């Protein structure tokens, strides 16, 4: 694969909206991605192998729980820093970013927000250091966009719970050490349980033959009469709102992350089009190519402003679920369009693994589906502005 | 051991270089700045001295407040504290005088600077600092070992390497080899957070002359067109090399 020459677009001097610390966070993450991810990622994606050597580096750079307080092993950074990290990591690969999103927003966040002090002390430092890898079990084979219908359940056996059911499309599942699993109690109320590797009856079969997120491991979480100690129940919150709040945090990261993938595709297409000669001049000199590039940078710039504003709202504790939905949907949509246009600009070269574009494009097909599908996010916006739900 | 690492704030190597309208100064508009790469090797080596021998590491820059993000990055990488001498670094002598004053006042044992900065490439400052302090100077240093106060050094010289030893206090002009590129540290998020609270002291400059002044800058002439000659046509190639390029 060609060396990573990425330069980030900043058409509206959005850097002026960032603090020096934000820029340091972003540049450090970018340097790490260029050093550790870019040289190897194409090979792992082609072989559909998980680059588990990156776990240690992701932990060292601080990509697991950057906004979790330092006393629990995080870095205590703000939400814009978290977003910038996700942007840079997904600029490298959506699969690697997915691993970080799951670890930070779907495993560390619920334990931090809803866990007992004992749970926080037991799990968060090990998740931050990468000693433990986590997964998040919400989606089931028959309950994707409608998670409230889940059938995974647990029964109170006096001194422990017994968990039954199955979760599907779970990032990190095949090698997770802990899983935050959402299941219904006997009254049908959703609670979070921390399930640990090695508990009898807990298995994690891998999902094979994905054409997307090939450098990320996906699988199932299967619970066959798993005995879960009572102290592993997250005591702080119950109901569907609890897992959905985790998704808010993860979707926020995706809004930044998908933009990173878009920037990489744009940057690649821009550089290629200035070098590639046809009819005696660079293809960047032809109107149809300029149209593509001009539309790309316009959409990237709009999305940069959107996620920056969303990050500011999130820092102030004011970002709503619907606002996060809009940004997630927008970033992924523009990223997919940019990836497809950029791929065309590179012609046949865009098909090969010499360039990152087609890998991004295939990855984004997962990103547009997971953490709330493209259509569901539209309906969240629709419900928010009309006051009328149209989900069912 | 107290180590003082000199940090130049220089344009990123991918920057497009332009000058102000009268060609008297570098145009900083839209340019990203980084730690001078030669200094970064020295900084990493200093962090090793901190980790292995308990040295304290101070980073120093002579410049305006726009250089503070560069010093914060050095703090995030692991330096203990930073000093900025608040002055325009007008020439090498002026800067060397400032560094020597800080070194004397702070009681440092070891000064590590890059052999040169990649912006103006003067390569004068560390030698001048050593002269002003009357300390030994190891320039183009590509290796360092020993327990101190005496250290063994390896220097890169034309066509080979020179081994020498010197005792603290001394000045090193560092480059790749002092540590390798793969040893350079990327700041992590925890380091960035810690850098927030590490001390960054701003000092007034001491009196010093500026001994040189810049006339003007100019860019290299653009590359001329390439002449393609048929691979079989050696005589034309020889004639052009002789008559036009005048290299044979």
Cross-chain CB nearest to A7 (options B14, B69, B189):
B14
Pairwise CB contact (< 8 Å): B189 & A20: no
Backbone angles phi, psi at A140, to 5 degrees: -125, 165
Q: Which residues of chain B are under the pLDDT cut of 50?
A: none
- Whether the CB-CB separation of A183 and A152 falls below 8 Å is answered with yes
Choosing among 3.40.462.20, 1.10.540.10, 3.40.640.10, 3.90.870.10, the CATH entry for A14-129 is: 1.10.540.10
d(CA A360, CA A353): 11
The topology under which CATH files domain A241-386 is Butyryl-CoA Dehydrogenase, subunit A; domain 3 (1.20.140)
Give the burial string for B32-61 (b: 16+ CB within 10 Å, else e): ebbbbbbbbbbbbbbbbbbeeeebbbbbbb
Pairwise CB contact (< 8 Å): A61 & B188: yes
Active site residue A371: yes
Per residue in A206-238, pLDDT (tens digit) is 999 999 999 999 999 999 999 999 999 999 999
Complete domains list, chain B, with CATH: 2-220 (3.40.50.620)
Q: Mean pLDDT over residues A82-106, rounded?
A: 97
The terminus-to-terminus CA distance of chain A in angstroms comes to 47
- Please name the helix (run of DSSP H) or strand (run of DSSP E) that holds residue A168, with its range, or none: strand A160-171
- Decide whether A14-129 matches A241-386 in CATH topology: no
A134-232: CATH architecture: Beta Barrel (2.40)
Per residue in A296-311, pLDDT (tens digit) is 999 999 999 999 999 9
Nearest CA to CA, how far is B187 from chain A (Å)? 6
> Tokens 């910038």, residue?
A84
d(CA A99, CA A63): 10
Pairwise CB contact (< 8 Å): B190 & A31: no
Which residues in chain B have Cβ-Cβ distances shorter than 8 Å to A31? 186
Torsion sign (Cα): B68, B70, B76, B80 = negative
For Cα atoms A22, A28, A31, give the angle at the middle one, nearest 5 degrees. 140
The terminus-to-terminus CA distance of chain B in angstroms comes to 56
From A132, A105, A67, A102, select the one nearest B190 (Cα to Cα).
A67
Please say if the pLDDT value at position A370 is more than 70.
yes
For Cα atoms B46, B51, B55, give the angle at the middle one, nearest 5 degrees. 60
Mean pLDDT score of chain A, rounded to an integer? 96
Best mutation target among A10, A24, A83 (most B Cβ atoms within 10 Å) is A24
For Cα atoms A58, A60, B81, give the angle at the middle one, nearest 5 degrees. 140
Pairwise CB contact (< 8 Å): A77 & B76: no
d(CA B6, CA B89): 13
Q: Mean pLDDT over residues A73-96, rounded?
A: 97
Q: What is the pLDDT of residue A2?
A: 57
Please state at what angle helix A357-367 crosses helix A94-101, rounded to 10 degrees.
Answer: 40
Pairwise CB contact (< 8 Å): A31 & B186: yes
Q: Where are the alpha helices (DSSP H) in chain A?
A: 20-32, 38-47, 54-61, 79-92, 94-101, 109-114, 117-128, 241-275, 287-315, 321-345, 357-367, 374-386
From B51, B88, B186, B132, select the one nearest A62 (Cα to Cα).
B186
Nearest CA to CA, how far is B227 from chain A (Å)? 17
Residue B244, token pair as written in the block: 């036009």
Question: CB-based contact (8 Å) between A60 and chain B?
Answer: yes
From A67, A391, A377, A106, select the one nearest A245 (Cα to Cα).
A106
- Whether complex ipTM tops 0.90: no
Q: Mean pLDDT over residues A368-382, rounded?
A: 96
Q: What is the pLDDT of residue B245?
A: 84
Please say if the pLDDT value at position A1 is more than 80.
no
Per residue in A247-256, pLDDT (tens digit) is 999 999 999 9
Q: What is the pLDDT of residue B48?
A: 96
Domain ranges of chain A: 14-129, 134-232, 241-386
* Closest chain A CA to residue B30: A13
């Amino acid at each position: 694969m060609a060396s990573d020459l990425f330069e980030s677009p900043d058409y509206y001097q959005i850097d002026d909206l960032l603090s020096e610390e934000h820029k340091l966070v972003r540049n450090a993450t970018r340097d790490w991605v260029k050093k550790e991810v870019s040289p190897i990622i194409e090979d792992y994606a082609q072989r559909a192998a998980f680059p588990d050597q990156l776990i240690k580096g992701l932990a060292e750079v601080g990509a697991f729980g950057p906004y979790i307080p330092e006393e629990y092993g995080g870095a205590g950074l703000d939400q814009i820093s978290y977003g910038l990290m996700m942007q840079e990591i997904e600029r490298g690969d959506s699969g690697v970013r997915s691993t970080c999103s799951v670890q930070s927003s779907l495993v560390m966040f619920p334990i931090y927000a809803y866990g007992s002090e004992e749970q926080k002390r037991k799990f968060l430092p090990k998740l931050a250091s990468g000693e433990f890898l986590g997964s998040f079990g919400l989606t089931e084979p028959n309950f994707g966009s409608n998670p409230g219908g889940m059938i995974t359940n647990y029964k109170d056996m006096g001194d422990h719970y017994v968990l039954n059911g199955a979760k599907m499309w779970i990032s990190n599942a095949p090698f997770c050490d802990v899983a935050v699993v959402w299941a219904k109690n006997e009254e049908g109320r959703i609670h979070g349980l921390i399930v640990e590797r090695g508990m009898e009856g807990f298995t994690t079969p891998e999902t094979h033959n994905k054409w997307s997120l090939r450098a990320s491991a996906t699988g199932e979480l299967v619970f066959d009469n798993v005995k879960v100690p009572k102290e592993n129940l997250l005591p702080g919150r119950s109901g569907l709102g609890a897992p959905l709040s985790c998704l808010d945090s993860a979707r926020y990261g995706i809004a930044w992350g998908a933009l990173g993938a878009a920037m990489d595709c744009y940057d690649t297409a821009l550089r290629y089009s200035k070098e590639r000669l046809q009819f005696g001049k660079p293809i960047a000199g032809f109107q149809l190519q300029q149209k593509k590039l001009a539309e790309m940078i316009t959409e990237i710039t709009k999305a940069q402003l959107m996620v920056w504003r969303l990050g500011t709202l999130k820092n102030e504790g004011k970002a709503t679920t619907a606002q996060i939905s809009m940004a997630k949907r927008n970033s992924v949509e523009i990223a997919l369009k940019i990836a497809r246009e950029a791929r065309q600009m590179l012609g046949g070269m865009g098909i090969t693994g010499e360039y990152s574009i087609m890998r991004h494009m295939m990855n984004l097909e997962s990103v547009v589906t997971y953490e709330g599908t493209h259509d569901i996010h539209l309906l969240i916006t629709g419900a928010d502005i009309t006051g009328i739900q149209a989900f069912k | 051991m107290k180590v003082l690492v000199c940090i130049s704030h220089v344009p990123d190597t991918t920057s497009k270089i332009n000058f102000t309208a009268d060609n008297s100064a570098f145009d900083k508009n839209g340019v990203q700045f980084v730690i001078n790469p030669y200094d970064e090797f020295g900084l990493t080596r200093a962090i090793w001295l901190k980790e292995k021998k308990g040295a304290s590491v101070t980073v120093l820059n002579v410049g305006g407040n726009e250089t503070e993000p560069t010093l914060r990055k050095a703090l995030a990488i692991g330096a203990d504290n930073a000093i900025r001498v608040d002055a325009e670094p007008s020439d090498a002598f002026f800067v060397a005088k400032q560094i020597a004053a800080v070194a004397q006042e702070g009681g440092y044992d070891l000064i590590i600077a890059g052999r040169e900065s990649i912006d103006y490439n003067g390569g004068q400052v560390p030698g001048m600092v050593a002269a002003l302090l009357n300390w030994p100077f190891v320039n183009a240093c590509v290796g360092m070992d020993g327990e101190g106060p005496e250290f063994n050094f390896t220097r890169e010289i034309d066509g080979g390497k020179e081994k020498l030893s010197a005792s603290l206090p001394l000045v090193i002009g560092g480059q790749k080899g002092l540590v390798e590129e793969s040893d350079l540290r990327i700041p992590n998020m925890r380091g960035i957070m810690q850098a927030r609270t590490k001390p960054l002291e701003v000092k007034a400059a001491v009196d010093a002359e500026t001994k040189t002044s810049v006339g003007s800058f100019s860019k290299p002439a653009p590359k001329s067109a390439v002449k393609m000659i048929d691979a079989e046509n050696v005589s034309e190639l020889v004639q052009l090399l002789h008559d036009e390029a005048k290299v044979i």
